[in-house]
Amino acid sequence: MANTIHIDIVSAEGEIHSGPATMVFAPASGGEIGVAPRHAPLLTTLKPGEVRVQTEGGEELMFWVGGGALEVQPHKVTVLADTAARARDLDEAAAQAAKQRAEEAIRDRVGAMEIAEAQAELARAVAQLRAIEKLRQLRKGG
């Protein structure tokens, strides 16, 4: 139908919604915007909030997004949703944590890692012993 626009809502982990709509509302970074069919091409970022989709049947669907981006093409709206709440300092903290994990893993000489390695070594030794035993049995039996 001429009076609808196709909307795709996707996140990095999966597709959330796809279908025709008569109107789409989204929380753009500059304030809430409404996108009707034949809206001008637009690229913008989204704040955390609700994306509302009005379907042909007059129903209104609501999707929560933790931020993201909105792209309007002549016949298509795409919402690229972030799955997690994002902020610059949150990202920074996550990066710090990732660095710390690496440092700890290098420093930690007898940590859990070492134990796992020791266990693997032990399993290997046991397997070798078993193989030797099996060979002996074969020689005895055959």
Partner 1 sequence: MAGTKEIRVKIASVKSTQKITKAMEMVAASKMRRAQDRMKAARPYADKIRRVIGHLRVTNPTNHPYLVEREVKSVGMIVVSSDRGLCGSLNVNVFKNVLAMVREYQAQGVEVRLTLIGAKALQFFRRLKLPIEASITHMGDKPHIADLIGTVKAMLDLFEEKKIDRLLLVSNRFVNTMTQKPTLLPLLPAETVDQADLQERWDYIYEPAPDALIEYYMMRYIESTVYRAVVENLACEMAARMVAMKSATDNAGKLIDELQLIYNKARQAAITKEISEIVGGAAAV
Segment (H or E) for 102:
helix 88-107
* Element of type H or E holding 81: strand 76-81
Footprint of partner 1 on this chain (CB under 8 A)?
8, 10-15, 28-30, 40-45, 69, 71-74, 78, 80, 82-84, 86, 91-99, 101-103, 105-106, 113, 116-117, 120, 134, 137-138, 140-142
Q: Phi and psi for 90 in degrees, rounded to 5?
A: -65, -45
In the complex, the smallest distance separating the C-beta of residue 72 from partner 1, rounded to whole angstroms, is 8
Q: Pick the closer one to partner 1 by CB: 60 or 124.
A: 124
Cβ closest to partner 1, residue 18 vs residue 60: 18
Asked if 37 and 2 touch (Cβ cutoff 8 Å), the reply is: yes
Residue closer to partner 1 by CB (options 50, 92) is 92
* CB 97, CB 82: distance < 8 Å: no
- The percent helix, strand, coil of the chain (3-state, each to 5) is 35, 40, 25
Smallest distance from partner 1 to CB 140, Å = 7
Q: Considering beta carbons, is residue 60 or 111 the nearer one to partner 1?
A: 111
> Smallest gap, in angstroms, from Cβ of residue 71 to partner 1?
6
- Closest distance of CB 40 from partner 1, Å: 6
Query: Please, which residues bridge with residue 54 across strands?
Result: 23, 60
